[in-house]
Amino acid sequence: MDVQARDLREVANKQVAELSDANARELLVLGLLAIAVLWLGVHPAPFTEIMHASVNDLLKHVAVSKL
């Protein structure tokens, strides 16, 4: 049986068939998370500036020779 035919069958489990799709609250949270991810991709400077000092300190620590 191919994938399309399998997807179009009725659900055998009654409890699974009664489950609903995402409600408005879940879609709102999903939308806000999507906007946050897109904003981080377009304008990451505020978040990378916060980490700048600690990353520089880590690089100095790693650059020190262990010998």
pTM for this model (two decimals): 0.55
At residue 19, the pLDDT reads 85
Q: Which of 17, 33, 16 is nearest to 25 (CA)?
A: 33
Give the per-residue pLDDT at 5: 62
- What are the tens digits of pLDDT across the range 10-53? 878 889 888 888 899 999 999 999 999 999 999 999 888 999 99
What pLDDT does 2 receive?
59
Query: CA dist 31 to 28, 37, 47, 53, Å?
Result: 5, 10, 20, 32
